[in-house]
Copies of this chain bind each other. A is one copy, B any other.
Amino acid sequence: MNKIEPRTLPGFMELLPKEQILFNQMKEKIQKSYEKFGFLPIDTPIIEMADVLLAKAGGETEKQIYRFQKGENDLTLRFDLTVPLAKYVTEYYNDLSFPFRRYQIGKVYRGERPQKGRFREFYQCDIDIIGDGELSIINDAEMPSVIYNTIKELGFEDFTICMNNRKLLTGLFEELELQNESVEVMRIIDKLDKIGKENVIACIKDLGIEDKKIDTIIKFIEIDGTTDEKLQKVEDLNISTETFKTGLEELKQVVNYVRNFGVPDNNFKVDFTIARGLDYYTGTVYETFLNEYREIGSVCSGGRYDNLAEYYTDKKLPGVGISIGFTRLFYKLNELQAIKEENKSISKVLVISMIEDKSKAIEVATILRKNNIPTEVYLEEKKIKAKFKYADKLLIPYVIVIGEDEIANNVVTLKNMQTGEQETLKLEDVINKIK
């Protein structure tokens, strides 16, 4: 028989079980954290009609899309969870309660050129709050609180949630009458970390912008100090456009409420350079950095938008949301050996029988499972050494050995696989010990 070579497509993450265990634990922690804030789960199809999913798309996104015919239908695989949310909210508008707080954790697809750390299939973990007509600015302050809790749940302490309000940048460009150049200027400012201040100035100058205006821009992006100092300094710039004033007022409120939500000052800051794309977000924007692992980039980003679903409906549906690109995050953390998970196995116990009859071993395992202890019985006929090696490779923390002596005395031998310590105990005591 001709054999086919089994292989996995490039750009598709596939983990060994010991990594998958960590991946799933982290994913579950994100889910539990989202649920702690009362976000409701939804699960939309991975396949949608092309016209529905591409209602808004264009440019780069469209090129990356998996699109195909099946029978009469022009189909696409979803490339994010936001367009499916827009579809969902419009489709089930009458059945939903607003503000609609939903989370969705699922795979999305982008046919990017594969490269290290970039994936064509990856999990996104999203939350959004959608208002019906309007949505209080306090929701913008709840997002950093969810980010704070989630990143803490993942075991990290030293991280910074950076916030800005897009209206400040828009208002600044209005003041300088640079609305037409704003996209390009923002693109240059985004490179500040990489190319340095002098180069930023030179690049902006190349656009034909006069020195005085460049001065104001640089002054704006160089504002530093504590959060309160920064807010004061930006106010002192005396920029007079309505947009700028609204942005500043919103940002102040968000900062105020973020503290109210219990996020400590050393885990968030105001950063006036964050824009996150000029077309989609209209108010508050977020990025989150693990300070020990800045090279990963933002691990959780998002922002406020005026209109979730304008390509489907006339209803005004403002929202605010965040997203974790989890597959990439896991890949990077794993590479940096920065994963904090401590449970490295599914089974807590492997039961090994020293005699051919496995009845007692099975009985013991059944009792442990009834006590909610994940347990496996080694059922194959192998040398005792192979059985222990199996426990070792799977990082199972305890082995229970059952032989004739144990059965005669109604006890079991418990071996702690980390310490090597071995003791003979009654089964009740084993249960209490392991729990």
| Chain A residues with a Cβ under 8 A of chain B | 1, 3-9, 12-17, 20-21, 23-24, 35-49, 51-52, 55, 66, 68-71, 73, 75, 86-88, 90-92, 95-97, 99, 101-102, 107, 109, 111, 120-121, 131, 134-136, 138-139, 142, 145, 149, 257, 260-262, 309-314, 346-347, 350, 358-359, 362-363, 366, 369-370, 372, 374-377, 379-381, 390, 393-394, 396
Contact = CB atoms under 8 A, between A and B. Distances in A.
A394 B40 CA distance: 9
Given A91-B6, A362-B261, A42 B20 contact: yes
A68 B68 contact: yes
A45 B17 CA distance: 14
Contacts of A393: 97
A111 B71 contact: yes
B9 A86 contact: no
A95 B42 CA distance: 36
A339 B377 CA distance: 32
Contacts of A38: 346-347, 350, 374-376, 396
A8 B46 contact: no
Contact of A121 (B41, B46, B96): B46
A54 to B, nearest CB: 9
Nearest to A3: B312
Given A24-B43, A70-B111, A261-B366, 4 more contacts: A4-B52, A5-B52, A20-B43, A145-B366
A40 B312 contact: no
A392 to B, nearest CB: 9
Work out how many copies of this chain go into the complex: 2
A44 B138 contact: no
A346 B41 CA distance: 9
Contacts of A359: 257, 260
B311 A346 contact: no
B66 A4 contact: no
A21 B40 contact: yes
10 contacts: A4-B51, A6-B309, A8-B48, A9-B49, A17-B102, A38-B346, A38-B347, A46-B46, A46-B121, A139-B379
A309 to B, nearest CB: 7
Contact of A260 (B24, B121, B363): B363
A328 to B, nearest CB: 15
A374 B145 contact: no
A14 B314 contact: no
A86 B7 CA distance: 11
A87 B301 CA distance: 36
Contact of A4 (B47, B55, B70, B96): B55
A107 to B, nearest CB: 7
Contacts of A12: 45, 47
A362 B37 CA distance: 11
Nearest to A83: B6
A6 B312 contact: yes
Contact of A97 (B5, B47, B121, B390): B390
Contact of A41 (B17, B40, B51, B136): B17
Contacts of A313: 3, 6
